[in-house]
Amino acid sequence: MTRRIVVTGTDTNIGKTVFAAGLADFLGAEYWKPVQAGLEDETDTQTVARLGGLVQERILPERYRLVTPASPHLAARLDGIAIDTATLNPPDTGRPLVIEGAGGLMVPLDNRTLYIDVFARWRFPVVLCARTALGTINHSLLSIEALKARGIPLLGIAFIGEPNAESESIICEIGAVRRLGTLPWLAPLTRETLRAAFRDAFNADDFAT
What is the distance between the alpha carbons of residues 151 and 71, in angstroms, rounded to a whole number? 25
The HSE-up count of residue 8 (CA atoms within 13 Å, CB side) is 29
Rounded Cα–Cα distance for residues 3 and 124 (Å): 9
What is the C-alpha to C-alpha distance for residues 11 and 103, in angstroms, rounded to an integer?
5
* Ramachandran angles phi, psi of 108, nearest 5°: -80, 140
Told to judge if 16 belongs to the known catalytic residues of this protein, a careful annotator would answer no
CA distance 51 to 149: 34
Out of 7, 18, 31, 33, which one is annotated catalytic?
33
Kindly list the catalytic residues: 33
